[in-house]
Chain A
Amino acid sequence: MAEQDRAAPYRIEGETGAWEVVIGLEVHAQVISKSKLFSGAATTFGAEPNTQVSLVDAAMPGMLPVINRECVDQAVRTGLALEAKVNEVSVFDRKNYFYADLPQGYQISQYQQPIVGEGVVHLDLPDGSVKEVGIERLHLEQDAGKSLHDQHPTKSYIDLNRSGVALMEIVSKPDLRSPEETAAYIKKLRSILRYIGTCDGNMQEGSMRCDVNVSVRKPGDGYGTRCEIKNVNSIRFVQQAIEYEARRQIEILEAGGSIDQETRLFDANRGETRSMRSKEEAHDYRYFPDPDLLPLKLDPARIAELKAALPELPDVKKARFMRDYGLSLYDASSLIEERATADWYEAVVTGGGGKRDPKIAANWTISELFGALNKAGLDLADSPVSAEALGGLIDLIGDGTISGRIAKDVFAEMFATGKDAAAIVEEKGLRQVSDTGEIEAIVDAVLAENQDKVAEYRSGKDKLFGFFVGQTMKRSGGKANPGMVNDLLKAKLAG
């Protein structure tokens, strides 16, 4: 990995020196599909209790699973997007354990032969380097139902709506070395999944959940004993959990103790992890191939077809934006994170007959539009300014109709009213003044009013030039063409 090339690796200073943190992630990503992995019940979030439950999902006696082709395709697409090996034969196993929201008494998962093998995710680090994070495997499995513990003093309520929804478990190698890298990994993974439409990445609704494996070591040492922090449901919490857990482990080790390999919970209210002691006995999942299912065989032609139909992926798009549009890494990265944003940006650039400057379009998209959306708490999809409308604004700047300064006011008006730029410019009379006579008259008036300053300038106080520009622009109501103002002032002051 590229970690040793990096400027300043993340370290936690302990009493005995610097510690390195080693992190691996198991991301559970809910597959986008209409129906469940092994039943025809719906998958939509937030339905009334047990309304999206078939007899199969409720594990009624004699019920049998039948796999959803689309879920298989989604896993294959994801595998391909992670540059991973797609296994032509994979096997579904039963993972046996008892839990209130696990009606079968086992989860159908993949253990020894997952559908997707090793792959890679590329991360752009802040110092400009690229880090490769290895993917160990991706497998398909069933989600569990939900237990509600706060509805009754002595009872838990079970809702099986989520039971049997398809999950992809995406397991990374222990290649991450800091909370920031881990955050970048999750964001990148989410971006890829959303690009290809296999998971909506919504961590709040639980459609993407993280189990975080954390260990610490002295740089150069072998791996330490890890703890698994279960079900962390936001990127910020993942970062907090890693930091807390790493410090906890360091404290134990520095006090001469050792780390117990265990499963821990992150308590978001306290910002700490704690042992899940309530699961008393050791787990023994007794995996074995599910005899209700046969080995899953994938036709290479189908894999090729799915590959051909994949959209342009974030890394490729980013490279293209940098190459074709001359964008900086930073601008390209922020434009490609979401496919909809990239598409929106490209609609701006390619509209208007291809005359628009891609860099100006990027600046407007990133600084003005994103800024305004953020402030208003809106998503791009709900933007009052369409790509076409922003393109219109950029065109008005390009052909000199308005200045960049005026354009910001026009944009604010566009954002507030949804009107297009040309209409606002006309309505408010914001068209740039490029008439030499008109500007000359203003310049003359400014110079006449400030005779003393003119004298000072002419005696060598060059800095006053800006003052004259400001006064001229102000008198023109901001509409004077700044280039012409400059030229005229220079000529007249020199005179």
Chain B
Amino acid sequence: MSLDKATVASIAALARLRVPEERLEPMVADLNTILGFVEQLDEVDTTGVEPLASVTGHALPQRDDAVTDGGYPERVTANAPDRVNDFYAVPKVVE
């Protein structure tokens, strides 16, 4: 499996990464090197092997239903590049 430029461009779009045209070609080469490397896994017979879900084998801990957090809009918006009152602001979304 080898990626071409168009595929890499579409992956970049999916990942919301602006990759300038001149960086695309070297990126294609790098990604193909990495994919070529990881494709060694094809050699491994994994028939009947369940994918690893957790290294600890623990079950998911569950917390009690109580309001213990929130109530600090200033803390969650303190680092926002653009905020208006206690809202985050982004370029207008047209639906």
Contacts and interface: CB of A to CB of B under 8 A. Distances in A.
A204 interface: no
A155 B69 contact: no
Contact of A159 (B61, B67, B87, B95): B87
A100 B93 contact: yes
A289 B67 CA distance: 27
B95 A157 contact: no
Range for the number of chain B residues in contact with chain A: 35 or more
A155 B60 contact: no
B53 A152 contact: no
B71 A289 contact: no
B88 A51 contact: no
B59 A152 contact: no
Given A48-B73, A58-B76, A149-B92, A295 B87 contact: no
Given A48-B73, A53-B76, A281-B14, A156 B67 contact: no
A387 B16 CA distance: 61
Contacts of A152: 84, 89, 92
B77 interface: yes
A40 B61 contact: no
Q: Which of A41, A50, A66 neighbours the largest number of chain B CB atoms within 10 Å of its CB?
A: A50
Nearest to A294: B60
A34 B14 contact: no
Interface stretch (A69-77, A210-218, A466-474): A69-77
Given A50-B77, A156-B91, A35 B67 contact: yes
A68 B63 CA distance: 5
B84 A155 contact: yes
A190 B73 CA distance: 33
Nearest to B13: A281
Interface in B43-95: 53-54, 56, 58-71, 73, 75-77, 82, 84-95
Contacts of B76: 50, 53-55, 57-58, 60, 160
B70 A54 contact: yes
Contacts of B67: 34-35, 40-42
B34 to A, nearest CB: 18
B81 to A, nearest CB: 12
A68 B73 contact: no
A71 B75 CA distance: 26
Nearest to A71: B65
Nearest to A284: B14
Given A53-B76, A67-B60, A69-B63, A157 B70 contact: no
Nearest to A286: B14
B59 A297 contact: yes
B91 to A, nearest CB: 7
- A-side interface mostly: loop
B93 to A, nearest CB: 5
Interface residues of A, number: 54
Contacts of A72: 62
B65 A49 contact: no
Given A154-B91, A155-B91, A156-B93, A40 B86 contact: no
B85 A49 contact: yes
B65 A294 contact: no
Given A49-B73, A54-B70, A158-B87, A68 B65 contact: yes
A294 B59 contact: yes
Interface in A5-62: 33-35, 39-42, 48-58, 60
Given A60-B76, A155-B89, A33 B65 contact: yes
B7 to A, nearest CB: 12
B70 A51 contact: yes
A278 to B, nearest CB: 6
B89 A158 contact: yes
A67 B62 contact: yes
A33 B13 CA distance: 37
A147 interface: yes
A98 interface: yes
10 contacts: A40-B67, A51-B73, A55-B76, A68-B63, A70-B65, A71-B65, A152-B84, A152-B89, A153-B92, A155-B84
Interface of B: 10, 13-14, 16, 53-54, 56, 58-71, 73, 75-77, 82, 84-95
